[in-house]
Structure 1
Amino acid sequence: RSVPEAVMAAERPCSLFALSAAAVSRSMAALERDVWALPGHLLRGLLPLLTIFHLERAEDAARRAGLSTQPIWRKLWDDVMKTRPPNSESITCWRKKFLETFFSSVLHGVLDVSSDWRLHDRHFSPLLHSSPHVSQLTLCNMLQGAVELTAEHNHKVLENLAASLRVLKFQHLFSCDQSIRRSLVLLLHRLIHHGSVSQVSMCSWPVPDTVLLVLILTMSAGFCRSGNALACHGSLCGLCREEDKAQSQQSAQEGAERGCNAEREGSGAENQKRSPKKADACMTSGPRSPPLQNPACEETSSEEPCGHSTIQGGSSPRSSSEQLSCHPIPRKTRRWQKPAVGRKRRCLRRSRGHYADPEDLYDFVFTVAREDNSGLLDKTRTTEGENTENWTSSSPGSPCTGHAGCKKRGGPAGTRSLKAAHRFRSVSTLELFSIPLTGETCRTLSNLLSSWVSLENLVLSYNSLNANISCILSGLRALSRHPECRFRVLRVSDMFSHMPCMELVRCTLSALPQLHTLSVSFDLKNQLEGTRPEASPSCSEAEIPESCLEVLEIRFPREPLHTALLLPVLKASKSLQQLSLDSATLPCPQELGLLLEVLKECTPNLRKLSFHDVNLAEHQKEVLLLLQDPGLQEITFSFCRLFENSTAEFLSEIINTVKRNSSLKSLKLPGNRLGNHRLVALADIFSEDSSSSLCQLDVSSNCIKPDGLLEFTKKLEGHIQQRGGQLPFTQLRLFQNWLDQDAETAQEALRRLRAMCSVVNDAWDSSQAFADYISVM
């Protein structure tokens, strides 16, 4: 139905305006331009009666009339999606949020557009109309979405996504046949190589399809096998053809100019006697031979892979336009380069359609892992004069512990794979969550990382890396030597740690001194303690070079925190601004004091310090020293059992210390058993005699009840009144507290709090809590 009958029924008996608005809504196709010219008070009543397609087109007219469509889009979300989106407080544009979710729901068939009159209009295509608002897209299961988007009738949709999409996610993937993989190749080629996607994320893939996984990784790195993988109905990608043509013309012109220059320089003194006219004619004449091949592609017959000459060699870097273009490879050369090893792993049942060379894709993804990675790094290591002994030799079983091992698995076949591949635009962020990576896949990833100069962020989470972490770091180390390397953020987390956390941190910083953020997180120690490698002399004894590290996060698998091992890292990280220590144990009472001394001496720029799940019940003196540190702006004691054995005097000392510290901006105390009485006492931080500049207070998970929150609110109101309404306090976080025990009192407290500051809370059901805080009941 095109008429908003439900709206009219709710307003019966209908007013003249409602009848007129309904008539206009039915005829928007003819009256749209006139409607946008209506006065604001008329447009306000008409906007809720429009379909989402006309409502989106009304945005400019509404803005000119001083109207906002955000409440309408929010109501649409509640009526259609019927869920509360995560982090709804941070959503700034409900139009984008709704249309992006609407696109994904229609694409995957989970939303019936005929279920609501506002969702369909015969003049508009749901996917086409909403696609310009999609910046994040998730493809899942059998990649049905990829097949739909690469269909001929959705060509314009794909073009819109190429301009708008920034994040591409893959979730819960299954193995799929070759025709679906070809659709995926076309999709990735358009969205990454010729599009705007900057982040690729893959998650929840317990048994990954190796071919599919390597295909996504390889194309995310900017590689694509030349040939029929990019063919669509017998024709190559139109953008590639245009770039090839431009490259050929540019190469021909440069070749002609070089020829003329060489001829002019080679003629010596005789050339000087020439008439100026002849010289000018030589300079302006066109090419006398067929266009020359792009110089970058001539290297496909040399040691370096196509597109890698400036990455692994010492030559000057290419321009960005050359890096983003795709270079043609002659068919004869491509036939010679086809690796023989790929033929042994062909799929027995293969489509025999109009694709002339269906095994190209299989040959490519199976042989990338056999790239002679160590051979590619030999030149760099030699020119830098470094010891050729692999720095990861401390990790037994590592697949990348030496040149021989790599060459044994590699060989010429693998090298030809990347040589035969075109180099296109690549993403800057790669995230892999809950995807087991085998040794072969890690070698593939390491090989890709070694030349992935656009990569800035790498997140590896629960990938069962174990000893293969050394292989990954080997590729990143090669990448860090490239002059155009932009790699800055590395986050590694896993269930079991292959080596002690501090040793991994030291090895990583030794290999990647340009890192800005390093996060290392493990849940448990290795299952077999006997198989855990001993400390490596190369990592534990070698001095760490000065690094650019600004953020360091370490989650220990219940390992003791030894300041002596952390000291070299802190000494090398003079730029460190944020340090987070999680789940560490303190081997002796003096250890935390030593840490504070080291932090004060070695990290003058430290601004944020966080402890999570570290027992600080017996370290009250050190806690107070931290709270009075004039350099720290944010301190977090999360689940640190601060008040487990404390007295009332300790709480008073905390309050007085914070009152005197004018540099502290954020204090986070989640999970420390505050209870009502301690929360009420914390309100004195903002008393009239306080010099505190505290802006944010986090008291989540502290067994706070509605009556305690209301008393805290009243006390805070009194302090504000005494200070003449001036209070720096801007945000209170209240997640997972017992506010559901008295909803009426809680609502009153929250209402009065929101008049003073921003309150961030949730609708948590305290009956589902697993912890029983008897001591604060």
Structure 2
Amino acid sequence: MAAPEAWRARSCWFCEVAAATTMEATSREAAPAKSSASGPSAPPALFELCGRAVSAHMGVLESGVWALPGPILQSILPLLNIYYLERIEETALKKGLSTQSIWRRLWDELMKTRPSSLESVTCWRAKFMEAFFSHVLRGTIDVSSDRRLCDQRFSPLLHSSRHVRQLTICNMLQGATELVAEPNRRVLETLASSLHTLKFRHLLFSDVAAQQSLRQLLHQLIHHGAVSQVSLYSWPVPESALFILILTMSAGFWQAGPGGLPCRLCGEASRGRAPSRDEGSLLLGSRRPRRDAAERCAAALMASRRKSEAKQTARAAPATRVTRRSTQESLRAGGIDTKREPHPPATSHEAPGTKRPPFAPATTSSASPSSSTSSSKRAPASSGPQPKPLKRFKRAAGKKGARTRQGSSAESEDLYDFVFIVAGEKEDGEEMEIGEVACGALGGSDPSCLGLPALEASQRFRSISTLELFTVPLSTEAALTLCHLLSSWVSLESLTLSYNGLGSNIFRLLDSLRALSGQAGCRLRALHLSDLFSPLPILELTRAIVRALPLLRVLSIRVDHPSQRDNPAVPGNAGPPSHIIGDEEIPENCLEQLEMGFPRGAQPAPLLCSVLKASGSLQQLSLDSATFASPQDFGLVLQTLKEYNLALKRLSFHDMNLADCQSEVLFLLQNLTLQEITFSFCRLFEKRPAQFLPEMVAAMKGNSTLKGLRLPGNRLGNAGLLALADVFSEDSSSSLCQLDISSNCIKPDGLLEFAKRLERWGRGAFGHLRLFQNWLDQDAVTAREAIRRLRATCHVVSDSWDSSQAFADYVSTM
């Protein structure tokens, strides 16, 4: 009897609270109803009025609402704002209630976007709160415009931050400055523990203040947080300084910028322990007597970038250049240790208490014979003919650019408009000499001779495990930075380089990957590489990667156009380094998944076979647009798979002309180790379909291990579909449970007959049937009847496709 009494008491409490506010709510609702021009509307139900009153006073009644019985609470949930709806989630689950439909309705009404069909939303609450956080951060949503979003007792950013798993920073680094501001400290601390993926999209040129905020943001989210993946998308004109900043911070390097405040978390982490002299070398690898190229590169690039930022921030009068040696001498004269002072002396960001050195007379690199060695890269033009210097990259956020963006409020922030605007900006006297400094460090020289700080001045922190670069063209400086950071990036597990225009820098990339593979604790297991061109043929590039990374598990490589080496007649076609394309056999590797996208032209089958022979653990192979000189070459590849790749489970062919390889296809279908085979747009039934289809069905009926068969885009037609139905007959030993017959010119009557044959044979449910882009709209009634019958035996996935788009394909099959 205790439970009913408690239920009755809480119900009475709810009615008392509702009665206290019913009169006021009724008067508010009735007034607009009487004055409505369209006539009187039905007043809200008493329960709804009570629920609105309770939701408006949740600050006082929250604990009592949580204790309400499930049926009453279920009716109140849709009336709560997002803050209390999120807070009551755990209580609702304990009472057997779900809020998913409420969050989905909020998404449809407030976000007004439809999730991708490829996205499977498991929690609409988390999805809504993550999107809500991003909109509030960018200022693209007004929380005061809807009562469900507005509550003075809650901070929108802080309340939604714990649901953010991925954060996207766009354009001119919007949101970075807001997140590192002192009022949002708790928001940033929450993000540091919840955020896993950080994405950059369509970045534009930014000023020093925004980059300094980004530096602090990356330091807390990566070095002191849980971010494990950094992805960059669509950056047609990358700003070298900003790109290098993101790379070095992602790799774990940290050094406060000019005028930057000391990190509170760094002070807490280092408190109570003395810094180790060899800590940097332990973090970057053991058994190395001196700093390696990655350390020298990071120190050089960060030092040059700090110098550039200091120049722009100080806005001082242009000073005459002084040599590195004279600068160091003036520092010593001022009582400053050059090894402990990484910043240039002429800056307005000196640390408190630092003694400013006296002004030293300006000298040039050619004024003193003793400085000729250190100034060989900076000799003036009048000193005689010099080698062509490396390309210098200008800072995009110069004085003129800053005035342009601040003075024109109507200026569009669209990516392409801004690219054309920036292209016309000129900056005189302020160039980032990253190429000179970086190449001096990367060439093996000691950074100290260039006046750069030792790596011990740069701390090494936690680094990310996944790096993705999509459509980000890499300059020479950026490619060098990436390669030399990679050589010691032992925490990196997955690397994606997609359409970055590497060119000949691919050789440096291979060298860095080989060096990384030799590091103790190397975790790189997945590499995705794609580009328009490659100086190496794709198969030779694959062999080089497999040799450099024998512990790699996943390799995806795609080249859209043939390389110059594929055409020996191209003049000046120098070959790659000999150590890259050795003729020695590939050692045994750990490759489990291999995906290759080939350019046009016949591929040498023996090179592909050599990779397959060394990949005994291969479980999945995908060949896209592969062309072989003859069907015998294709048969050689299949024979190699059967003999050397006994663990292979999934095999996929896409956009390959297999019309003349029907005997090889039959040989493949008789393989008793494969579980899934895909022939996508392979023109299988273009020749001899009446003879080939029965042979194919017979091979499949005798294969008891094949679980999935995908045949999209092969012009199967009604006749081919009915022949394929025999695979599910009573005398078949096939265990096929997934069938994809999309884009195969199938009409409703043929699909209906296919369904009837499955019913006649009494075949049980065999899994999934995909029917995308077939001619089912020609007779909608018959198509619906066919799909209804098929759903009794399998899960059918179809679409409403306009078959008139395939008229040309229809004519070719008549």
Shorter-normalised TM range:
0.7 to 0.9
Q: Which amino acid aligns with 2:92?
A: A
Cα 1:562/1:414, change in 2 over 3 Å: farther
Measured on the aligned residues, the alpha-carbon RMSD in Å equals 3.5
2:688 alignment partner, one of 637, 641, 646: 646
Cα 1:345/1:433, change in 2 over 3 Å: closer
Per the alignment, residue 454 of structure 1 pairs with: 491
Aligned ranges for residues 122-133 of structure 1 at < 5 Å?
122-133=152-163
The alpha-carbon deviation at position 32 of structure 1 amounts to 1.5
Is the contact made by 1:372 and 1:411 (CA closer than 8 Å) also made in structure 2? no
Cα 1:307/1:709, change in 2 over 3 Å: same
Per the alignment, residue 667 of structure 1 pairs with: 709
TM-score by length of 2: 0.74
Alpha-carbon distance between aligned partners in 2 of 1:94 and 1:417, rounded to the nearest angstrom: 49
The alpha-carbon deviation at position 652 of structure 1 amounts to 2.6
Name whichever of 692-701 and 665-674 sits farther off.
692-701
Per the alignment, residue 697 of structure 2 pairs with: 655
The alpha-carbon deviation at position 33 of structure 1 amounts to 1.4
Do structure 1's residue 194 and structure 2's residue 224 form an aligned pair?
yes
Per the alignment, residue 733 of structure 1 pairs with: 770
Q: Which amino acid aligns with 1:585?
A: T
Per the alignment, residue 357 of structure 1 pairs with: none
Per the alignment, residue 469 of structure 1 pairs with: 506
Do structure 1's residue 17 and structure 2's residue 17 form an aligned pair?
no
The alpha-carbon deviation at position 618 of structure 1 amounts to 1.0
1:444 alignment partner, one of 450, 456, 481: 481
Do structure 1's residue 697 and structure 2's residue 739 form an aligned pair?
yes
The alpha-carbon deviation at position 187 of structure 1 amounts to 0.8
Local SS of the residue matching 2:529: strand
Per the alignment, residue 482 of structure 1 pairs with: 519
Local SS of the residue matching 1:66: coil
**Residues 213-250 of structure 1: CA deviation (Å, up to 9, x unaligned):** 01101100011124656x33xxx1111001111333xx
**Residues 373-428 of structure 1: CA deviation (Å, up to 9, x unaligned):** 5xxxxxxxxxxxxxxxxxxxxxxxxxxxxxxxx34898854974644321010000
Give the share of equivalent positions with the same residue, in percent: 55
Alpha-carbon distance between aligned partners in 2 of 1:114 and 1:736, rounded to the nearest angstrom: 45
Is the contact made by 2:537 and 2:563 (CA closer than 8 Å) also made in structure 1? no
Do structure 1's residue 245 and structure 2's residue 275 form an aligned pair?
no
Local SS of the residue matching 1:560: coil
Alpha-carbon distance between aligned partners in 2 of 1:199 and 1:368, rounded to the nearest angstrom: 29
Do structure 1's residue 550 and structure 2's residue 580 form an aligned pair?
no
Cα 1:24/1:582, change in 2 over 3 Å: same
Local SS of the residue matching 2:506: helix
Is the contact made by 2:77 and 2:85 (CA closer than 8 Å) also made in structure 1? yes
Cα 1:623/1:185, change in 2 over 3 Å: same
Q: Which amino acid aligns with 2:154?
A: F
Is the contact made by 1:435 and 1:462 (CA closer than 8 Å) also made in structure 2? yes
Aligned ranges for residues 196-235 of structure 1 at < 5 Å?
196-226=226-256, 228=258, 231-232=260-261
The alpha-carbon deviation at position 14 of structure 1 amounts to 2.8
Per the alignment, residue 459 of structure 2 pairs with: 422
The alpha-carbon deviation at position 547 of structure 1 amounts to 1.0
Cα 1:554/1:3, change in 2 over 3 Å: farther
Q: Which amino acid aligns with 1:525?
A: P
Cα 1:705/1:408, change in 2 over 3 Å: farther
The alpha-carbon deviation at position 65 of structure 1 amounts to 1.2
Q: Which amino acid aligns with 2:276?
A: N
Name whichever of 154-163 and 738-747 sits farther off.
738-747
Per the alignment, residue 599 of structure 1 pairs with: 641
Is the contact made by 2:81 and 2:148 (CA closer than 8 Å) also made in structure 1? yes
The alpha-carbon deviation at position 718 of structure 1 amounts to 4.1
Aligned ranges for residues 196-345 of structure 1 at < 5 Å?
196-226=226-256, 228=258, 231-232=260-261, 236-248=262-274, 293-297=275-279, 307-310=283-286, 312=288, 332=337, 334-337=339-342
Is the contact made by 1:431 and 1:459 (CA closer than 8 Å) also made in structure 2? yes
Name whichever of 190-199 and 410-419 sits farther off.
410-419
Is the contact made by 1:364 and 1:417 (CA closer than 8 Å) also made in structure 2? no
Q: How many residues align?
A: 660
Per the alignment, residue 601 of structure 2 pairs with: 559
**Residues 321-348 of structure 1: CA deviation (Å, up to 9, x unaligned):** xxxxxxxxx9946545558999999977
Per the alignment, residue 260 of structure 1 pairs with: none
Q: Which amino acid aligns with 1:733?
A: R
The alpha-carbon deviation at position 710 of structure 1 amounts to 4.4
**Residues 661-688 of structure 1: CA deviation (Å, up to 9, x unaligned):** 1111221112112234433443333333
Cα 1:13/1:84, change in 2 over 3 Å: same
Per the alignment, residue 215 of structure 2 pairs with: 185
The alpha-carbon deviation at position 632 of structure 1 amounts to 0.7
Local SS of the residue matching 2:272: helix
Is the contact made by 2:525 and 2:552 (CA closer than 8 Å) also made in structure 1? yes
Per the alignment, residue 408 of structure 2 pairs with: none
Alpha-carbon distance between aligned partners in 2 of 1:247 and 1:587, rounded to the nearest angstrom: 66
Cα 1:704/1:89, change in 2 over 3 Å: farther
Aligned ranges for residues 384-395 of structure 1 at < 5 Å?
none
**Residues 344-376 of structure 1: CA deviation (Å, up to 9, x unaligned):** 99977699xxxxxxxxxx999878844745xxx
Q: Which amino acid aligns with 1:670?
A: P
Q: Which amino acid aligns with 1:543?
A: E
The alpha-carbon deviation at position 571 of structure 1 amounts to 2.0
The alpha-carbon deviation at position 138 of structure 1 amounts to 1.0
Alpha-carbon distance between aligned partners in 2 of 1:585 and 1:562, rounded to the nearest angstrom: 9
Do structure 1's residue 110 and structure 2's residue 140 form an aligned pair?
yes
Is the contact made by 1:674 and 1:704 (CA closer than 8 Å) also made in structure 2? yes
The alpha-carbon deviation at position 747 of structure 1 amounts to 5.2
Cα 1:370/1:11, change in 2 over 3 Å: farther
**Residues 721-742 of structure 1: CA deviation (Å, up to 9, x unaligned):** x24xx43x22223334444555
Aligned ranges for residues 496-515 of structure 1 at < 5 Å?
496-515=533-552
1:135 alignment partner, one of 158, 165, 172: 165
The alpha-carbon deviation at position 694 of structure 1 amounts to 1.9
Alpha-carbon distance between aligned partners in 1 of 2:289 and 2:781, rounded to the nearest angstrom: 70
Local SS of the residue matching 1:430: strand
Is the contact made by 2:199 and 2:231 (CA closer than 8 Å) also made in structure 1? yes
Is the contact made by 1:436 and 1:462 (CA closer than 8 Å) also made in structure 2? yes
Alpha-carbon distance between aligned partners in 2 of 1:131 and 1:364, rounded to the nearest angstrom: 40
Unaligned runs of 5+ in 2: 1-23, 34-39, 292-334, 345-373, 379-391, 403-430
Local SS of the residue matching 2:83: helix
Is the contact made by 2:434 and 2:477 (CA closer than 8 Å) also made in structure 1? no
Aligned ranges for residues 85-96 of structure 1 at < 5 Å?
85-87=115-117, 90-96=120-126
2:63 alignment partner, one of 33, 47, 53: 33
TM-score by length of 1: 0.78
The alpha-carbon deviation at position 432 of structure 1 amounts to 0.4
Cα 1:160/1:703, change in 2 over 3 Å: farther
Alpha-carbon distance between aligned partners in 2 of 1:61 and 1:171, rounded to the nearest angstrom: 38
Q: Which amino acid aligns with 2:267?
A: R
Is the contact made by 1:638 and 1:668 (CA closer than 8 Å) also made in structure 2? yes
Per the alignment, residue 725 of structure 2 pairs with: 683
Alpha-carbon distance between aligned partners in 1 of 2:132 and 2:272, rounded to the nearest angstrom: 39
**Residues 440-477 of structure 1: CA deviation (Å, up to 9, x unaligned):** 21111111001111001110000011111111111111
Alpha-carbon distance between aligned partners in 2 of 1:217 and 1:704, rounded to the nearest angstrom: 51
Per the alignment, residue 61 of structure 1 pairs with: 91
Local SS of the residue matching 1:701: coil
The alpha-carbon deviation at position 82 of structure 1 amounts to 2.4
Alpha-carbon distance between aligned partners in 2 of 1:638 and 1:207, rounded to the nearest angstrom: 36
Per the alignment, residue 553 of structure 2 pairs with: 516
Alpha-carbon distance between aligned partners in 2 of 1:367 and 1:225, rounded to the nearest angstrom: 21
**Residues 297-341 of structure 1: CA deviation (Å, up to 9, x unaligned):** 5x6xxxx6x8425385699xxxxxxxxxxxxxx994654555899
